[in-house]
Amino acid sequence: MIRRKKPPTISHVAQQAKVSIATVSRVLNGTTPVDDKTAKRVRAAINKLNFVPRHAARVLAGKRTHTIGLLLPEISGAFFQPMLKGIEAGAHDAGYDLLIHSTQIHDPSHRPLGEHNTDGLLVFTNSLDDQELARWHRIKFPVVLLHQTPPDSLNIPVITIENKNGAAMLINHLIEIHGKRRIVFLRGPEGHEDSVWRARGYREALEIHKIKFDHSLIASGGFDDEEAFITIQQMLTNGIDFDAVFAGDDDAAIGAIRALRMAGRVIPGDVAVVGFDDIPFARYLSPALTTVRAPIEEVGREAVRQLARLMNGEQAEALTLMRTELVIRESCGCAPASTISNPLQDELISSTRR
Amino acid sequence: MIRRKKPPTISHVAQQAKVSIATVSRVLNGTTPVDDKTAKRVRAAINKLNFVPRHAARVLAGKRTHTIGLLLPEISGAFFQPMLKGIEAGAHDAGYDLLIHSTQIHDPSHRPLGEHNTDGLLVFTNSLDDQELARWHRIKFPVVLLHQTPPDSLNIPVITIENKNGAAMLINHLIEIHGKRRIVFLRGPEGHEDSVWRARGYREALEIHKIKFDHSLIASGGFDDEEAFITIQQMLTNGIDFDAVFAGDDDAAIGAIRALRMAGRVIPGDVAVVGFDDIPFARYLSPALTTVRAPIEEVGREAVRQLARLMNGEQAEALTLMRTELVIRESCGCAPASTISNPLQDELISSTRR
DNA sequence: CTGAAAGCGCTTACAG
DNA sequence: CTGAAAGCGCTTACAG
């Protein structure tokens, strides 16, 4: 068992400064004017005892926590980096601390993040069951969803991106410019909405070009390097014929490229490979990855903004849909812009129609 | 102001189930046997009211939190991904929840993570001032340091890696195999211990080969893509002459490569570039990056293990120094192993002497 | 400007 | 097996 020396409490400080605990609390919070000399004594006592108020007690006594929580399924893949950056920046701007928990859905009686230790929550796809969302909705606890539609018809604000159009633009490009007809699509993790919408974009683009949908070209990539690697290897082994791969996201694209190379296929000569997200590394791959740029960081910022409105008792936007852009580089078969890869020269095509 | 409907408390449940709150607490915690029928009634009430105990109250009343905290300066750069993975895995194995906060040192009276809401803390370099560490040490609150030596002579356990030997191996390779003499070193962020040790490795290697240390070859790379990019551009503009760059870490190596390319330099023909860490993408760069493999994920796991010992009142290892390995790929000037890049074929050289 | 006291929602000896 | 009550460390009306 742990034996830690008991930290000082507000009573110790009060004793030391010869005032009541109420007064200590007041200089701590600056809620009520306190006599200068008294305040000075209290501060001296605080310093001397090295007193730090216990968060738990404060929260119990009804104070706001000034922190927001972020619930993630896991922090893996390059995707989360810009998202975290945006959220951190947003939280900082709004004057909130940020606490992050990556969770595999677990025992609801023991949530590490919730109304007991935060003023509001950001919830990313797949990190929570609907019951918990419903409960928060019921007690009017501020929650904003990322890349995920709320269950039932709970009106919880959502921030997400133009997945469908982004995917469709990508597939259109492969078909129209590079004459591809047999395009593999690698799905993301089970229940991941981004994946569902990208699949729809894929199908719609096929339909527009009267290309028959072929089930055998759909497989699971898990938005993950390793899983995509294995899947593509398997498709190769099974002799499935294809001339392009839409890997679902950039991480999976890396795995796909690796598998294809290992099998001796040339990219983009034999097979074109495209991703989604435009993670920082996408442009440094060789061939440089053609992909869709998702404004991931901005999604994070905006989510905090909406959450802040909720926490202030204001109304938030029900749905914020952020634009995606086609980023054409080399892995689709287009020629390199120049020897010097200049990001500014990437061709950008916006996903907003018209 | 926020008006949330008040969530049910343990008293409501007690009323509903017609028992005392003590009994409710018992079925909640399973601490004392409770009559089956009573328990069933209580559980029914809990379900009906959708009751979730308030963490803050539990903690106040003296329960352990079953969660550990991780303090980081920021989650940026590809480095943190494997570290987080290791820590998450470690926490999960040890049966703890993990809460993460990335912080710029702020107001000590308002720490988002500490003894009030965790049972122990993992602290990464640069995320905290020494005072706070000293305070925790004083109250015997379990803390483990990552990549950072404790201040003064507080005996706080540390997990870190063989930075010096790793760097020395890298520089030795550049000098001995590729005949480099003017090697740039890009420092990491201010106060970052990894950077300090890597600098020492760099200098020692130079000394061994009787190469005079040249101040003008040292600059700041910040362990960051963008910062390294700017720095190298500047060195080029200033006409500083060099035949190799040790970028400090892999992220910075990417920025360095970008700047050199933009200036028309060929890598590794004109300038060799090497990194440190071996982040997942290092092998996919072109040329594939020569670097030092740091067992980042394992550092995370081990840190949690040591922390768990502390939290159990056991003694922890004062210093855990993890081995690094030289990973020779192409960016140093070595020939590619084969067209098919196989990780297993990378040449590995361990940092442990003898 | 300051203090005494109630209350936040739990847990846990102590009795029974 | 179960309940009454004290206590965890704060905040905040309510008086003065």
pLDDT per residue over B283-293, tens digit each?
A: 888 899 999 99
Q: Please report, for residues A10, A130, B25, B28, B49, the alpha-carbon distance to residue B13 in angstroms, rounded to integers and kept in the order given.
A: 32, 23, 10, 11, 7
Interval B235-272: pLDDT, tens: 999 999 999 999 999 999 999 999 999 999 999 999 99
How many angstroms separate the CA atoms of A280 and B286, rounded? 15
DSSP tag of B150: P
Interval A190-239: pLDDT, tens: 889 999 999 999 999 999 999 999 999 999 999 999 999 999 999 999 99
Residue B49 clears pLDDT 80, i.e. is over it: yes
**D4 closest protein residue (CA to C1'):** B20
Helix (H) or strand (E) holding A158: strand A158-161
Distance A22 CA to C6 C1' (A): 13
Interval A239-249: pLDDT, tens: 999 999 999 99
For residues A188 and A255, the answer to whether their CB atoms sit within 8 Å is no
- Any A CB within 8 A of B108 CB: yes
Q: Which residue has the higher pLDDT, B11 or A77?
A: B11
Q: Kindly report the length of chain A.
A: 354
> How many angstroms away from the CA of B298 is the closest CA of chain A?
16
Question: Which candidate in A10, A116, A140 is best for mutational testing of the B interface (most B CBs within 10 A)?
Answer: A116
Q: Which residue has the higher pLDDT, B199 or B52?
A: B199
Per the rule left: phi > 0, alpha: psi between -120 and 50, beta: everything else, B293 is beta
For residues A216 and A155, the answer to whether their CB atoms sit within 8 Å is no
Interval A294-345: pLDDT, tens: 999 999 999 999 999 999 888 999 999 999 999 999 999 998 764 434 444 3
In this prediction, residue A333 carries a pLDDT of 95
A101 — phi, psi (to 5°)? -135, 125
Place of tokens 């601490």: B31
Which of B92-106, B166-180, B309-323 has maximum average pLDDT? B166-180
Q: Kindly report the length of chain B.
A: 354
Q: What percent of chain A has pLDDT over 90?
A: 63
Average pLDDT, stretch A110-132?
82
Residue B160 clears pLDDT 50, i.e. is over it: yes
From chain A, the residues in CB contact with B75 under 8 A are 75, 81, 84-85, 88
Confidence class for position B337, pLDDT limits 50, 70, 90: low
Question: Which candidate in B71, B129, B281, B314 is best for mutational testing of the A interface (most A CBs within 10 A)?
Answer: B281
In this prediction, residue A205 carries a pLDDT of 98
Distance B64 CA to D6 C1' (A): 20
- Edge to edge, the sheet with strand B347-350 lists B291-293, B325-328, B347-350
How many angstroms separate the CA atoms of A126 and A151, rounded? 12
Residue A107 clears pLDDT 70, i.e. is over it: no
- Give the closest of A55, A264, A342 to B116, CB-based: A55
Nucleotides of D under 7 A from a protein CB: 1-5, 7-13
Q: Do A60 and B55 touch (CB under 8 A)?
A: no
For residues B282 and B289, the answer to whether their CB atoms sit within 8 Å is yes
Q: Please report, for residues A88, A106, A137, the alpha-carbon distance to residue A308 in angstroms, rounded to integers and kept in the order given.
A: 13, 27, 16
For residues A310 and A145, the answer to whether their CB atoms sit within 8 Å is no
Token output for A167:
């995917």
Confidence class for position A63, pLDDT limits 50, 70, 90: confident
State the CB neighbour count (10 A cutoff) for residue A64: 14
Residue B68 clears pLDDT 90, i.e. is over it: yes
In this prediction, residue A285 carries a pLDDT of 87
With both helix axes pointing from N to C terminus, report the angle between A250-262 and A225-237 in degrees, rounded to the nearest 10. Answer: 40
In this prediction, residue B171 carries a pLDDT of 98
Confidence class for position B1, pLDDT limits 50, 70, 90: very low
In this prediction, residue A30 carries a pLDDT of 85
In this prediction, residue B347 carries a pLDDT of 46
Place of tokens 């905006």: A302
Q: Which residue has the higher pLDDT, A24 or B56?
A: A24
Which of A64-73, A156-165, A284-293 has maximum average pLDDT? A156-165
Residue A3 clears pLDDT 90, i.e. is over it: no
Confidence class for position A144, pLDDT limits 50, 70, 90: very high
For β-strands B67-72 and A347-350, DSSP reports them as unpaired
Which of A62-71, A150-159, B155-164 is predicted with the least confidence, judged by mean pLDDT?
A62-71
Average pLDDT, stretch B44-73?
85
Q: What is the average pLDDT score of chain B?
A: 88
Q: Please report, for residues A256, A258, A263, the alpha-carbon distance to residue A235 in angstroms, rounded to integers and kept in the order given.
A: 11, 14, 11
pTM of the predicted protein model: 0.86
Average pLDDT, stretch B1-26?
82
Residue B129 exposure: Cα atoms within 13 Å on the Cβ side: 8
Residue B352 clears pLDDT 50, i.e. is over it: no
How many angstroms separate the CA atoms of B125 and B73, rounded? 7
Confidence class for position B110, pLDDT limits 50, 70, 90: low
For residues B312 and B73, the answer to whether their CB atoms sit within 8 Å is no
- Residue among A187, A190, A162, A159 at smallest CA distance from A70: A159
Q: Which of residues 147-206 of B touch A (CB under 8 A)?
A: none
Residue partners of A140: CB distance under 8 A and separation at least 6? B2, B3, B4, B5
In this prediction, residue A61 carries a pLDDT of 83
Token output for B338:
């084969």
In this prediction, residue A50 carries a pLDDT of 84
Q: Which residues of B7-27 are buried (b: 16+ CB within 10 A; e: fewer)?
A: bbbbebbbebbebeeebbbbb
Structural domains of chain B ordered from first start: 1-51 (1.10.260.40), 163-294+324-344 (3.40.50.2300)
Confidence class for position A284, pLDDT limits 50, 70, 90: confident
Interval A152-194: pLDDT, tens: 878 999 999 999 999 999 999 999 999 999 999 999 998 899 9
In this prediction, residue B182 carries a pLDDT of 97
Average pLDDT, stretch A56-79?
83
State the CB neighbour count (10 A cutoff) for residue A28: 17
In this prediction, residue B344 carries a pLDDT of 41
Question: What are all long-range contacts of B106-112, with beta carbons under 8 Å and residues at least 24 apart?
Answer: B108/A52, B108/B132, B109/A28, B109/A52, B109/A53, B110/A66, B110/A97, B111/A52, B111/A55, B112/A67, B112/A97, B112/A98, B112/A99
Give the chain A residue nearest B57 (alpha carbons): A60
What distance lies between CA A341 and its chain's CA centroid?
A: 28
Q: What percent of chain A has pLDDT over 70?
A: 92
In this prediction, residue B31 carries a pLDDT of 84
Confidence class for position B353, pLDDT limits 50, 70, 90: very low
In this prediction, residue B289 carries a pLDDT of 96
Interval B184-196: pLDDT, tens: 999 999 889 999 9
